[in-house]
Structure 1
């Protein structure tokens, strides 16, 4: 799918090369999530969508090189003439149903991103080639890192989970590099811990290629990632939901398996051992 056919990709291209503040990254992220609707939103509506002030939206447009928000919106309408996306009738939904609908929208957006599989395929090859493979995820991202590492260990000969911060984190990165690691996979979700940013900077200095699954292409870790794969989180409930990052992680596992000689043999061997030990009840 070309950027001409993908509103989200058009917006991503518009933001590339600009140094955005955290508030501006939030606006950009909100615009990407509602790419089809953005050309029809007022500055006040976009501010409410992003949870920022209306002047912040104006400053954001100026940072992108426009005279103001009207000029930005006019540009978007010119390059992407389309009707606003039809919104689902969710007025009668309770808060839990609305949270589910928001996650469904995140998954739809991920499906649009994956229409071009090249970045995920490149990432999978990098992960498959790394021996060992360190997988980093702190705080809110720890569960995603653990889930990936759990399944990856069934097919990859040496997966090293880094899901705790502290003074030993750099030591564990050093150990992985000394053992021959070439790539580090990071899951980075909000709120983004300072330790994650510091760990990625350290990994880059150590010579590792950094592949990151993050909630947005504008996340604080973007500048420290050689390859960033965005997957939005849901924000409707008190705590964020991360269905899209989890699914993206599984897609990475699929590609990694394709790049690992003997992956199927290792899976079959595990199944045989599990059956012999009676690990599962089914």
Structure 2
């Protein structure tokens, strides 16, 4: 299904109060939006890692009599009554990479509307300092974003370790003038990340989140959600989509304040040349 179709499936869950298990089911249907209308309840349960009765309860929570009624609605949204397309051939590694390409294609369609990205960029540009939260699996991506963001933002603070010092660092950044925070929250959604976001909101932060789905657990507790699917076909998740989203966001930050960004980049290049930091 194209990006519009995926957004149509996502609209089914808009405003619904879903349990964590139901969020997993919703995420599964969005991720497999091109084929979801042809899945049985048992297949959805298997893909989402939940029980079959949970799929039935999920459909009823959305106001349908059961999963068959929800599946009919999904078919209406696809506008396609054809049989399911057989899976393309290839080994497990090729299929995992192909799935990543499909995720990026959906991200491409999603970025036809840049309202959320541009709003997020404005919030983060205006924050001095700028905390960037990323724990466990999200820590490398937070560091990656922070490394490049520091070249165009005067004070980036990467928060990639948990424990009580994490909240101390949020307090310190807020006292120094921080008004917004970027949070990278990826499956399996560390509880400490969610707790830190809740505490940041109580402190008065605006929170921008890069996460894997618009129905991830962080979605209801942030000001702007920038979803980008992760790959789940290998032993460990592939984060190609969230990394691309992080760089898109950083580009939007540069576009929103081009003169300061260019000036800081030129200053960095001059310093790098003087110190012989790079060989090429």
TM-score range, shorter chain: over 0.9
Residue by residue over 1:207-230, the C-alpha shift from the partner in whole angstroms, topping out at 9 and shown as x without a partner, is 000100011222222221111111
Where structure 2 has 5 or more consecutive residues not aligned to the other structure, the ranges are: none
Q: Distance in 2 between matches of 1:147 and 1:37?
A: 34
Q: Secondary structure at 2:103's aligned position in 1?
A: helix
Deviation at 1:158, TM superposition (A): 0.9
Q: 5 Å matches for 1:16-55?
A: 16-55=14-53
Shifted more, 39-48 versus 140-149: the winner is 39-48
Pair 18,84 (structure 1): closer, same or farther in 2 beyond 3 Å: farther
Does structure 1 retain, via aligned residues, the 8 Å contact 2:38–2:84? no
Taking structure 1 as the reference length, the TM-score comes to: 0.93
2:58 match: 60
Q: What is the match of residue 124 of structure 1?
A: 121
Q: Deviations along 1:17-57, whole A, 9 cap, x unmatched?
A: 11112221111111111212222222222223323222221
Query: After superposition, where does 1:88-107 map in structure 2 within 5 Å?
Result: 89-90=88-89, 93-107=90-104
The whole-number CA distance in structure 2 between the counterparts of 1:167 and 1:222 is 24
CA contact (8 A) 1:188 1:221 kept: yes
Deviates more, 1:126-135 or 1:40-49: 40-49
**Are 2:37 and 2:72, in contact at CA under 8 Å, matched by a contact in 1?**
yes
Q: How many residues align?
A: 277
1:277 match: 275
Q: Does 2:225 correspond to 1:228?
A: yes
Give the RMSD, CA atoms, in angstroms: 1.7
Normalising by structure 2, we get a TM-score of: 0.94
Q: Is the 8 A contact 1:107 1:244 kept in 2?
A: yes
What SS does the aligned partner of 1:6 have? helix
Looking at structure 1, the residues matched to 143 and 37 of structure 2 have their Cα atoms a distance apart, in angstroms, of 39
Partner SS, residue 73 of structure 1: helix
2:141 is aligned, of 120, 144, 147, to 144
Q: Equivalent residues in 2 for 1:1-282 (5 A)? A: 6-82=4-80, 83=82, 86=85, 89-90=88-89, 93-260=90-257, 261-282=259-280
Structure 1 alignment gaps of length 5 or more: none
Q: Distance in 2 between matches of 1:53 and 1:244?
A: 28
